[in-house]
Amino acid sequence: MAGPWEMVIGLEVHVQLLTKTKLFCPCSTAFGAPPNANTCPVCLALPGALPVLNRGAVRLAARAAYALGCTVHEESVFARKNYFYPDLPKGYQISQFDRPLATGGFLALEDGPGARGVRIHRVHMEEDAGKSIHDRYPGHSAIDLNRSGTPLIEIVSEPDLRSAADAGVYLRRLKQILEYTEVSDANMEEGSLRVDANVSVRAAGADALGTKTEIKNMNSFSGVERALEVEFARQVALVERGERVVQQTMLWDAGSGTVRPARSKEESHDYRYFPEPDLPPLRLTSAVLAEWREAVGAQRAEPFQQRERALERSGLRSLEPRKFREVALAPGKQLERGAGEIDAANLGIVLRRERTLFALVPQPQAHPRCGAARAAGTLVRGSARDALEHEAVEADGRIEAHDACEA
């Protein structure tokens, strides 16, 4: 066969939800605690402990799904994915399998009507595993279960992406949406957003899909783009030599800029999914769903670029967080002066992209309440963003800290 070759990409993105507590127990999700400090009978999987669903996590997951244009189902089902791993305390992960929370969304890669985009196959909820550290104690792996049970959503795209650059655009836009909607920090470096990529090649214009490989171990968006290019080149070279692509998992090595096959597990995966009997099906009334959808709709209606322009005009876009706080979030008059034409009353949530502030979200209704809850001493994560938010809330004295940010 000969070229030109087309790359076909589908992305599976795991995102940590910005909840205060874990998905199935009231342990804190805060980072930085001593190992195994944020654990309890449930997330240690002690004999007899049972999961209880965090409805705040459901609300965030649904919000993300609506922001991605998905249908959120009135009934979805948690399932057990069974496998042994020392940082998976129960011996199964509670996930969703054949009946996910949401399906059938769309993420535009461009603005304007008829823009190109990527179909979202599904969004489902699941719990994170703990961490295994392999290099601290010789001959041992060290298990820290603080992350065990942290709420995640997995966002699975259809294989609609055709280039590494588009994959990058998809991820950056996805990150923006997750940040705007306050669903997640969506920070790949910190691990609150993780990407696995399914890649295959085919002759341009062909209908059938080629054999795919899955690439893991990427820790930045540019890393994803580079890994995709490298894997594409590898697959093209194979096919052009008349060899077959083997379905397998590849690990990206950012240092050498190469991919290599992951060591195969000693057994084939057979996760023995079955419905989680400790949790009833997740039922959401149409009234609740309608309310959640509307809240997201208002936000979604506002085009990104409009917000971006407002930010540009404000002159705050390029400020470092600390500087921003000085000029924009000082109490009283300074607030208005520093914020320029941004109305103080509309000052809602400050978002940051890496170390640079990039957006102000003008007061979506749910947000001040989230902010208030955190101002009341319950900061989710010790990030700069939270600190800023805290002060934003204080500066806007009208917001009362009486309401919790939950479903």
Q: Does 131 bind another protein (CB under 8 A)?
A: yes
Q: Is 286 exposed, middle or buried (0-12, 13-18, 19+ CB in 10 A)?
A: exposed
- Min CB(59)–another protein separation in Å: 8
Q: Does 377 bind another protein (CB under 8 A)?
A: no
- 84 DSSP 8-state letter: -
Q: Does 84 bind another protein (CB under 8 A)?
A: yes
Nearer to another protein, 267 or 354 (CB): 267
- Rounded CA-CA distance 19/35 in Å is 20
Choosing from 8, 145, 183, 359, the residue that interacts with another protein (CB under 8 A) is: 145
Nearer to another protein, 88 or 239 (CB): 88
Number of residues in contact with another protein under rule CB under 8 A:
84
* Residue indicated by tokens 């996590």: 57
Nearer to another protein, 265 or 333 (CB): 265
- Min CB(204)–another protein separation in Å: 33
Which residues make beta-bridge pairs with 350?
360
Nearer to another protein, 6 or 87 (CB): 87
Residues 22-81 that bind another protein (CB under 8 A): 25-28, 34-42, 44-58, 77, 80
Single out the segment in contact with another protein by CB under 8 A; choices: 2-10, 17-25, 317-325, 393-401.
Answer: 17-25
Nearer to another protein, 203 or 376 (CB): 376
For the beta carbon of residue 149, count every other beta carbon within 10 angstroms: 31
Quote the longest CA-to-CA distance of the chain.
71
- Min CB(197)–another protein separation in Å: 16
Q: Does 333 bind another protein (CB under 8 A)?
A: no
Q: Among 203, 202, 118, 120, which residue's Cα sits nearest to residue 161? A: 118
Q: Among 388, 384, 350, 348, which residue's Cα sits nearest to residue 368? A: 348
Residues 149-178 that bind another protein (CB under 8 A): none
Choosing from 143, 224, 236, 296, the residue that interacts with another protein (CB under 8 A) is: 143
- Rounded CA-CA distance 98/76 in Å is 9
Single out the segment in contact with another protein by CB under 8 A; choices: 134-142, 153-161, 300-308, 347-355.
Answer: 134-142
| CA 127 remoteness from chain centre | 13
- 21 DSSP 8-state letter: B
Choosing from 4, 112, 113, 139, the residue that interacts with another protein (CB under 8 A) is: 139
For 21, list phi and psi in degrees, rounded to 5.
-125, 170
- Min CB(83)–another protein separation in Å: 7
- Min CB(47)–another protein separation in Å: 4
- What are the structure tokens assigned to 134, written together? 């392999």
- Give the x-and-dash track for 257-296 against another protein (CB under 8 A): ------x-xxx-xx-x-xx-xxxxxxxxx--x--------
| SS3 labels along 258-287 | EEEECCCCCCCCCCCCEECCCCCCEECCHH
* Residue indicated by tokens 């990039």: 358
> 179 near 385, Cβ under 8 Å?
no
- Rounded CA-CA distance 393/403 in Å is 13
Alpha helices in 208-261 (DSSP H): 221-240
**167: Cβ–Cβ under 8 A, 6 or more apart, which residues?**
9, 11, 161, 197, 224, 225, 228
Single out the segment in contact with another protein by CB under 8 A; choices: 4-12, 129-137, 307-315, 330-338.
Answer: 129-137
Nearer to another protein, 109 or 142 (CB): 142
Task: Say whether 183 sits in a helix, a strand or coil.
Answer: coil
Q: Does 238 bind another protein (CB under 8 A)?
A: no
Nearer to another protein, 241 or 263 (CB): 263
- Min CB(235)–another protein separation in Å: 22
Choosing from 8, 13, 66, 89, the residue that interacts with another protein (CB under 8 A) is: 89
Nearer to another protein, 91 or 303 (CB): 91
Q: What count of Cα atoms within 13 Å lies in the side-chain half-sphere of residue 247?
A: 5
Q: Among 94, 52, 54, which residue's Cα sits nearest to residue 77? A: 94
- Min CB(401)–another protein separation in Å: 14
Choosing from 31, 106, 141, 390, the residue that interacts with another protein (CB under 8 A) is: 141
Choosing from 4, 135, 256, 398, the residue that interacts with another protein (CB under 8 A) is: 135
